[in-house]
């Protein structure tokens, strides 16, 4: 009888090292046109459990490894995105499903850091609604008033609004928040604890 493959744990499948490969730059003329700008280390692939339950968002590198090891199967691919080798091109997956059911970890954690605050706030100033630009982080309740470095007290702000608010509360500065800050909650874990950018193709699997 053929030897059965050992059942993998969640940690074994999705323990990713911090990225040490510089993603291909969009202006790198030596890169194939459809590969430019793809960050292989970013959490952009939704992983479904064997039961089709949303489980994790992993990097493209990890997803390709799971597919090539026959641990997962393709469900959805990204539109017009391919990885190239000298002899073949591989569609970049958007959604994959594990062949065997894996027990979920008890809690999912999104790391509190600058990058994830920007992602939560969609790179929008939470005072004037300006999109992008030279963004900073602002303490809603100033640190001089006991304001904490925490999800519910840090927002994305442009430098103009940050300077205008100074060491005051929004009420004192007569500045209204676009949205109250909050700790992001997801029904799945993510690579490096990084809040993912939700792909529209995931909607049918994660719901509203």
Work out the burial of residue 150: count CB atoms within 10 Å of its CB; fewer than 13 is exposed, 13-18 middle, 19 or more buried: exposed
Architecture per CATH, domain 114-173, reads as Orthogonal Bundle (1.10)
How many CB atoms lie under 10 A from the CB of residue 69?
A: 12
pLDDT at 88: 79
Sorted by where each begins, the domain ranges of the chain are 10-106, 114-173
Residues recorded for the chain = 208
Helix, strand, coil percent values for the chain (each to nearest 5): 25, 25, 55
Q: What is the DSSP track for 20-36? A: -SPPPPTT-TTS-TTTT
Tokens linked to 120: 């939560």
- Asked if 177 and 2 count as a contact pair (C-beta separation under 8 A), the reply is no
Quote the pLDDT of residue 27: 35
- Tell me the pTM: 0.64
Q: What is the pLDDT of residue 8?
A: 80
Tens place of pLDDT per residue across the chain (208 aa):
444 456 788 888 887 655 433 333 333 333 333 445 678 888 899 999 999 999 999 999 999 999 999 999 999 998 888 887 777 788 899 999 999 999 887 666 778 889 889 989 989 999 999 998 889 999 999 999 999 999 999 999 999 999 999 999 999 999 999 999 998 877 778 887 787 888 888 989 886 4
Q: In angstroms, what is the C-alpha Rg of the chain?
A: 20
What is the pLDDT at residue 25?
Answer: 33
């Amino acid at each position: 009888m053929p030897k059965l493959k050992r059942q993998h744990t969640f940690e074994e499948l999705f323990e990713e090292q911090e990225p040490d490969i510089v993603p291909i730059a969009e202006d790198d003329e030596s890169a194939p046109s459809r590969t430019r700008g793809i960050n292989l280390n970013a959490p952009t692939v939704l992983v479904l459990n064997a039961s089709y339950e949303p489980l994790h968002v992993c990097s493209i590198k990890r997803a390709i490894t799971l597919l090539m090891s026959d641990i997962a199967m393709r469900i959805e691919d990204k539109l017009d995105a391919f990885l190239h080798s000298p002899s073949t091109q591989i569609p970049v997956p958007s959604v994959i499903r594990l062949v065997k059911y894996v027990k979920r970890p008890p809690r999912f954690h999104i790391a509190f850091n600058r990058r994830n605050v920007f992602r939560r706030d969609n790179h929008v100033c939470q005072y004037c609604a300006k999109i992008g630009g030279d963004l900073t982080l602002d303490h809603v309740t100033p640190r001089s008033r006991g304001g904490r470095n925490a999800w519910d007290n840090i927002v994305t702000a442009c430098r103009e609004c940050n300077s205008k608010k100074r060491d005051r509360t929004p009420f004192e500065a007569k500045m209204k928040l676009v949205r109250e800050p909050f700790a992001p909650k997801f029904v799945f874990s993510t690579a490096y604890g990084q809040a993912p950018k939700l792909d529209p193709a995931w909607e049918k699997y994660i719901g509203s």
